[in-house]
Structure 1
Amino acid sequence: MSGNLVARSIHDLTAAAWFGGSLMGAVGLNGATAQAQDPAERTRLSSLGWKRWAPVQTGAFAAHLTTWGPILWKNKGRYSQQDGVMRWTWIKAGVTVAGAAVTLYAGVLGKKVDELSEEGAKGATEPRTAASPELAQAQKQLRQLQWTIPVLAGTVVVLGAKHGEMQRPKNVKAGVLKS
């Protein structure tokens, strides 16, 4: 297996892990913890699940970013010669950075929810009426971010597929002739 294929495979798999993990967390983990009988357990169990996922997520991001350099280097000639490759690369980079920032911010909010978990909640991202303003605000923001993150991660996966399609010989030829 060529080095570029390995790098591209790792790059795509780590984006898929980010997408799948964030979607499963929003639907499965946060949804399931809302069923806990004790309101304090709802936020505590969700926090425990997200803490267990965090090292995997961090490793996936690190691997994703590490493979970026070799992929860029291997395809450097196409950026200037093939129409659209540089534009789509910048778009993918922007979405990746935005998604990483949103994911990091969700982690900060999740830590706040964990610290206030003894207050209890309706669900992982649904505050109780008597929740402190800090907990309620963090949960409301997390409710939005839990869906924003898979959208951004999914967009990175789709843009990776777009890059793959642009590498087909007929598309390279058409893109070089167009530029």
Structure 2
Amino acid sequence: MARATLFHQLHDVGLAAWFGGTLANAVTLNPASSSAGSPRDVGAVANEGWDRWTPVNAAAIGAHLIGAAGLVKHDAGRMKAQKGVPSMALVKTGLTALALGVTAYSRTLGAKVSQHHAVPADDATTPTPATPPDVASAQKQLTALQWVVPATTGALVLIGAYASEQYRPEEVARGALRRVLS
């Protein structure tokens, strides 16, 4: 069987950065921005942090997608022969699409907030009464969405661990045999 080491590396490192970065920002940057001083400084710090993360996140997502596409091509034969692989691939694809959609929508909301560089806020996702209504609406949506990306990408990490077990020779042989006998 040909190796797909580079694709696995791109897939896993990209996913790890996507998951870890968004989780770290939700856990640390968003609430810590409240320590910046004035409400305007809070908004400026949060926006600066997320604006710095955006290109890194885009690169991580790109690496993950290149790796995922390479693995799909590499594993096409396994998907036909090994029971459980097609459904696992379908779940991974659905979760990836969800994570991409939520990430893109969150970035759109974040860009709306970032346009008002030093927008008054209690923290990155909590508006103050002085926050412009459109920015306050975006922040309220980001309050929930900041957890959806780490949840979906975290689920992808877990499924990746399960998928790694499916590569074990005894699993491949057992899955192929079940497929032939059914």
TM (norm. structure 2) is: 0.92
Q: CA deviation at 1:117?
A: 4.3
Paired position in structure 1 for 2:86: 86
The CA distance in 2 between the partners of 1:121 and 1:132, in whole Å, is 10
The CA distance in 2 between the partners of 1:170 and 1:154, in whole Å, is 27
Structure 2 matches for 1:47-126, cutoff 5 A? 47-126=47-126
CA contact (8 A) 2:44 2:119 kept: no
Q: CA deviation at 1:3?
A: 5.1
Q: CA deviation at 1:23?
A: 0.6
Q: CA deviation at 1:130?
A: 3.4
The CA distance in 2 between the partners of 1:118 and 1:78, in whole Å, is 52
Structure 1 stretch 98-107 or stretch 113-122: which is displaced more?
A: 113-122
Structure 1 stretch 127-136 or stretch 8-17: which is displaced more?
A: 127-136
The CA distance in 2 between the partners of 1:150 and 1:139, in whole Å, is 18
Unmatched 5+ stretches in structure 2: none
Paired position in structure 2 for 1:24: 24
Once the two structures are superposed, residues 130-154 of structure 1 have per-residue CA deviations (whole angstroms, 9 ceiling, x without a partner) of: 3332121100100101111100110
Report the number of matched residues.
Answer: 178
Q: Runs (4+) of structure 1 moved beyond 4 Å?
A: none
The CA distance in 2 between the partners of 1:178 and 1:19, in whole Å, is 35
The CA distance in 2 between the partners of 1:80 and 1:128, in whole Å, is 55
TM (norm. structure 1) is: 0.94
The CA distance in 2 between the partners of 1:70 and 1:139, in whole Å, is 36
Once the two structures are superposed, residues 20-45 of structure 1 have per-residue CA deviations (whole angstroms, 9 ceiling, x without a partner) of: 00011111111211111110111111
The CA distance in 2 between the partners of 1:8 and 1:136, in whole Å, is 40
The CA distance in 2 between the partners of 1:161 and 1:141, in whole Å, is 31
The CA distance in 1 between the partners of 2:115 and 2:60, in whole Å, is 26
The code of the aligned residue for 2:141 comes to Q
Paired position in structure 2 for 1:141: 141
Q: CA deviation at 1:119?
A: 3.8
The CA distance in 2 between the partners of 1:108 and 1:89, in whole Å, is 28
Unmatched 5+ stretches in structure 1: none
The 1:3–1:178 alpha-carbon spacing in structure 2 relative to 1, beyond 3 Å, is closer
CA contact (8 A) 2:44 2:117 kept: yes
The CA distance in 2 between the partners of 1:20 and 1:107, in whole Å, is 17
CA contact (8 A) 2:113 2:119 kept: no
The CA distance in 2 between the partners of 1:29 and 1:3, in whole Å, is 39
The CA distance in 1 between the partners of 2:124 and 2:62, in whole Å, is 27
